[in-house]
Structure 1
Amino acid sequence: MSYLLSLLDKSPVDPGRTPTEALHATAQLAAKAEEWRYHRFWVAEHHNIQGLASSAPETLIAYLLAKTSKIRIGSGGVMMQHYSAYKVAESFNLLASLAPSRVDLGVGKAPGGFPLSTRALQAGIDPALRPSFAEQLADLNRYLLPQEAQHSDLLATPLPPVAPERFLLGASVDSALLAAEKGWKLVFAGHLNGDPDNLQKTFDAYERATGGERPLLALAAFAADSEERARQRVAELKIFKVFFGNGQSVNVGSEEQAADYARQAGFSDYRIEEKRPSVLTGTPRQVRQELDALHRRYGVEEFVIETPAVGAAERLASVELIARERLSLAA
């Protein structure tokens, strides 16, 4: 099967460990991903969540670029509602100047955190003046694309020899149409919304709007030496969906986080529903067979794999097992 494998890492902090150790584990994983021939390595953006250490992807990307030499490094993604498009373009043009042809800019419109951190990040922003997500994408194009930047008096310097690749993270037909309209590659967030019907509609909409391009598919996967071991570890994972009286809902990692989110948002009327995360699970061959099936069904040309927070050593082992399965198959 001909498709690329890439990785998304959230720098989870293992119980009893420190954020410094979590970030060093991410750096080790990036170096190994390069060795094992993964195509990209992306880091996430989460705020005020003690179990996740990656709050500033552009800072971590710079460190990972220095620790690797070939693999593409990027964000999965920058949460644009908090930032000026100009400042984001400056940061990623600088990164792309340091490491030409290796930098990816993935963006999303979610907050990446709870209400308190969102308010802190947006303390200086006048809501009446905040541009829409679509306007921010257009602004980023103006600052990042050489053919557009050359006609502007406002440059997001330094201008790199090769512009960062641009990716929109989403999970809807609307996201597909917006990405196609603005000329961004779509990454379907299957690890957050894996509904097959929605996935098919989104893929079809993007393909029609772009004249044949297929989105990347992000999903969670975990492999172990035995199916029993893999399923045992994944069975311990949980997510909690919180429903509020106004119709809003949000996914969090624990019942404590659910209560904390409600408190920060000022809700007293809410209910919690425990769910199992959607994770491709099994031996390396079983995981590869599931990827093959998704490739055949949806025409996926690149998967972005997130490994669940099962511990740094087991995450590393899973990433190696999946890679070696692909390498042995290719050989």
Structure 2
Amino acid sequence: MSYLLSLLDKSPIDEGGTAVEALRATVRLAQRAEELGYHRFWVAEHHSMLNLASSAPETLIAYLLARTARIRVGSGGVMLQHYSAYKVAENFNLLASLAPGRVDLGVGKAPGGFPLSTRALQVGIDPAAKPDFAQQLSDINRYLAADPAQDGPHATPFPPSAPERFLLGASVESAQLAAAKGWRLVFAGQLNGDPENLRLTFEAYERMSGGRTPILALAAYAAEDAALARRAVGDLRIVKVFLTDGRSVNVGTEEQASEYARQAGVAIDRLESKVPSVLHGTAADVRSQLDDLSSRYGIGEFIIETPALASAERFASIERLAKERLSLAA
């Protein structure tokens, strides 16, 4: 069974480490991923997070493109609510002109941070004049069309081929929007691993996009043996905080939940702690789970996020999965 493997990295900062070291690790990881045959390498956008160093994916993408030669590099994703669609299109047309045929534009709807960073990012934006998410996707489509005859501003420079466009989501609504706007859907399975939701979302996208299959993003960790993998991921948790104004958001700890509520100026209604969905075991175990998902849903590509473990373990996991992938290819 053949499918592509790609990587998503958040540049986690090791305990006792620095952001400089985390970003250097991301660069080495991208270079090693290229050597191992991974298809894409994506970086995330998280704001005001002391444990994550990737806050500006466009900047990091430019550096990674310069330090690699073949692998596709992109955003997983740009948090579109903070930005002008025109500026996003300019950024990625410029990147695609620097590295033709290697740039991916992935966008998401989430804020990528807590309320204070969101407010700081959106200073000067008139909420009444701000386009909704669907309109921003349409605007990016228009700007990326690179048509000199088109009225209005042009997102120059025009690259020889436009960046590939991806919408990150985990709902039927996201599937419908991606299909309607002509964007490839990436189902964020690391955030919502519910099998029934995955099935319904995949079916909606395939039906509305003329048979295209979404890419599945998920968290996976391959260790030397299954017991080690269980111990490594056993303490991972996601805390969902429900606020009294009806909002809800996923965070990493109860302390982060309290801080989110403080910044939002709203009381916490309740908290729910759950174990995140992480494929784990030996490389053969993880491959077996990927095989099953590919067979069940017709998936042709997985984007794998390694949990925020120490850098050495993240490197070892992608090495093990790549070796298992070689036997898959054979």
TM over 0.5: yes
Q: Partner letter of residue 35 of structure 1?
A: E
- 1:136 matched to which residue of 2? 136
Q: Partner letter of residue 211 of structure 1?
A: G
Q: Which runs of 5+ in 1 are unaligned?
A: none
Moved >6 Å (runs of 4+): none
| Structure 1 position 267, deviation (Å) | 1.6
- 1:210 matched to which residue of 2? 209
Question: Could you say if the C-alpha distance between residues 153 and 125 of structure 1 is closer, same or farther in structure 2, counting changes exceeding 3 Å?
Answer: closer
CA distance in 2, matches of 1:26, 1:270: 37
Q: Partner letter of residue 152 of structure 1?
A: D
| Structure 1 position 250, deviation (Å) | 1.0
CA distance in 1, matches of 2:148, 2:285: 47
Q: Is the 8 A contact 2:48 2:113 kept in 1?
A: yes
Q: Is the 8 A contact 1:169 1:189 kept in 2?
A: yes
| Structure 1 position 269, deviation (Å) | 3.4
- 1:161 matched to which residue of 2? 160
Q: Summarize deviations over 1:235-291 as a string: whole Å, max 9, x none.
A: 021221111223321111112111100100112233222211110000000000000
- 1:283 matched to which residue of 2? 282
- 2:293 matched to which residue of 1? 294
1:225 aligns with 2:224: yes
| Structure 1 position 210, deviation (Å) | 1.1
Q: What's the secondary structure of 1:207's corresponding residue? A: helix
Q: Which runs of 5+ in 2 are unaligned?
A: none
| Structure 1 position 149, deviation (Å) | 5.5
- 1:104 matched to which residue of 2? 104
Q: How many residues align?
A: 330
1:236 aligns with 2:235: yes
- 1:255 matched to which residue of 2? 254
CA distance in 1, matches of 2:67, 2:316: 20
- 2:23 matched to which residue of 1? 23
CA distance in 2, matches of 1:250, 1:168: 19
**So what's the TM-score if we normalise by structure 2?**
0.98
CA distance in 2, matches of 1:316, 1:322: 10
- 1:59 matched to which residue of 2? 59
| Structure 1 position 206, deviation (Å) | 0.6
CA distance in 2, matches of 1:269, 1:302: 38
CA distance in 2, matches of 1:184, 1:255: 35
1:151 aligns with 2:141: no
CA distance in 2, matches of 1:226, 1:300: 26
Q: Summarize deviations over 1:143-176 as a string: whole Å, max 9, x none.
A: 1123x55423421011101100000001111111
CA distance in 2, matches of 1:272, 1:175: 25
Q: Is the 8 A contact 2:13 2:22 kept in 1?
A: yes
